[in-house]
């Protein structure tokens, strides 16, 4: 086949020319190209049929492959399940063996524990009995302690009361000591005066017995006892000094002079006492009676003529008055 026929045959195979378009080709080349094209077409059709058959077979094989794949997947799943069951069975068997071993070990340990419990149960009983004895002893001691504490509280209260009483007594003692010291100081500085009261009434004034009866009545009535001071020119008393009312061979009453007043404060009943209008007025309080024998024993005056200051034995009498 010539070169021109081959070219035409390729054009015809490609569908670029057909039999009517090749009028210009020479008859030999045309025929050769036509035969080549027919052979090629027949071969192409055979190839196409083979390809279609292959595709059909491939589809069948593909379908079979899918089916087989599904079946294989199912079988694999079943195989995995079976393997799992087998594995679980093995594990279960292994676990069962371990459980049996543990049960045996536990049983052995329980037996040992029971043996230990039986062994020490007697000791526990002994210890409980000892503990009960000690508890009873402790309760007894605690009861005694509580009782002692109650007694201690009572003693504390008694000590507190006694302490308070001691404090009161100490305070009273301090006051007494201070009073004694004050009285001692007063005894060093106090003066003791004496004035006689007659045993009988006089018909004329002044009458000391009548005047003292008046003061005695005033004292019983709760009024102030008053008396004359010494006459002018003699030692004069001051507030805080003592005055002894002297009654011959009977008794003596000693007073504290609580005030020294002007002669203008004399009682109206004293106006008839001639010669005494210039004497000061003495307020007398806190009487203390002294028996005649005691008075004489202390060195007191056996005779008294008028109001005057005692110069001898005054310290002992003053001390007696304050005691």
Q: CA 124: distance to chain centroid?
A: 42
Q: Can the peptide bond before residue 252 be classed as cis, meaning omega within 30 degrees of 0?
A: no
Domain residue ranges of the chain, discontinuous segments joined by +: 190-322
Min mean pLDDT across 49-53, 107-111, 178-182, 285-289 is at 178-182
Each residue's pLDDT tens digit, 132-160:
887 888 788 778 778 887 888 888 888 88
36: how many CB neighbours lie within 10 A of its CB?
18
Min mean pLDDT across 64-68, 200-204, 227-231 is at 64-68
Distance (Å, rounded) from C-alpha 308 to C-alpha 236? 8
pLDDT mean over 173-202: 79
Each residue's pLDDT tens digit, 91-110:
667 777 888 888 888 888 88
Q: Which CATH architecture has domain 190-322?
A: Roll (3.10)
293: how many CB neighbours lie within 10 A of its CB?
10
Please give the model's pTM, rounded to 2 decimal places.
Answer: 0.45
Mean per-residue pLDDT over the chain, rounded: 82
Residue 321: CA atoms inside 13 Å, Cβ hemisphere, count?
28
SS3 sequence of the chain: CCHHHHHHHHHHHCCCCCCCHHHHCCHHHHHHHHHHHHHHHHHHHHHHHHHHHHHHHHHHHHHHHHHHHHHHHHHHHHHHHHHHHHHHHHHHHHHHHHHHHHHHHHHHHHHHHHHHHHHHHHHHHHHHHHHHHHHHHHHHHHHHHHHHHHHHHHHHHHHHHHHHHHHHHHHHHHHHHHHHHHHHHHHHHCCEEEEECCCCCCCCCCCHHHHHHHHHHHHHCCCCEEEECCCCCCCCCCCCCEEEEEECCCEEEEEEEEEEECHHHCCHHHCCCCCCCCCCEEEEEEEEEEEHHHHHHCCCCCCCCCCEECCCCHHHHHHHHHC
The token pair at 65 is 């492959």
Could you give phi then psi for residue 58, rounded to 5 degrees? -65, -40
Q: How confident is the model at residue 20 (pLDDT cuts 50, 70, 90)?
A: very low
CB 196 within 8 A of CB 305: yes
Could you give phi then psi for residue 287, rounded to 5 degrees? -75, 150
What is the C-alpha R_g of the chain? 79
């Amino acid at each position: 086949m010539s070169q021109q026929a081959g070219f035409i045959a390729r054009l015809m195979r490609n569908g670029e020319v057909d039999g009517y378009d090749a009028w210009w080709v020479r008859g030999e080349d045309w025929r050769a190209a036509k035969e080549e094209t027919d052979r090629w077409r027949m071969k192409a059709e055979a190839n196409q049929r083979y390809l279609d058959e292959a595709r059909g077979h491939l589809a069948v094989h593909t379908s079979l492959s899918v089916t087989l794949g599904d079946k294989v997947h199912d079988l694999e799943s079943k195989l995995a399940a079976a393997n799992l069951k087998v594995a679980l069975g093995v594990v279960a068997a292994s676990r069962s063996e371990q459980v049996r071993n543990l049960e045996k070990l536990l049983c052995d340990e329980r037996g040992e524990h029971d043996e230990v419990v039986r062994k020490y149960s007697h000791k526990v009983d002994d210890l409980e009995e000892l503990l009960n004895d000690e508890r009873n002893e402790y309760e007894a001691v605690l009861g005694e302690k509580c009782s002692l504490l109650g007694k201690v509280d009572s003693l504390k209260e008694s000590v507190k009361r006694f302490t308070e009483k001691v404090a009161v007594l100490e305070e009273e003692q301090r006051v007494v000591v201070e009073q004694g010291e004050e009285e001692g100081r007063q005894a060093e500085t106090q003066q003791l005066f004496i004035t006689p009261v007659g045993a009988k009434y006089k018909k004329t004034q002044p009458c000391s017995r009548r005047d003292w009866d008046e003061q005695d009545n005033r004292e019983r009535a709760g009024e102030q006892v008053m008396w004359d001071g010494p006459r002018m020119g003699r030692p004069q008393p001051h507030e805080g000094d003592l005055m002894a009312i002297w009654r011959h061979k009977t008794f003596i009453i000693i007073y504290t002079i609580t005030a020294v007043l002007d002669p203008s404060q004399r009682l109206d009943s004293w106006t008839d006492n001639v010669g005494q209008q210039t004497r000061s007025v003495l307020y007398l309080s806190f009487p203390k009676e002294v028996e005649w024998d005691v008075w004489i024993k202390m060195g007191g005056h056996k005779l008294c003529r008028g109001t005057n200051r005692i110069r001898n034995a005054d310290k002992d009498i003053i001390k007696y008055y304050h005691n």
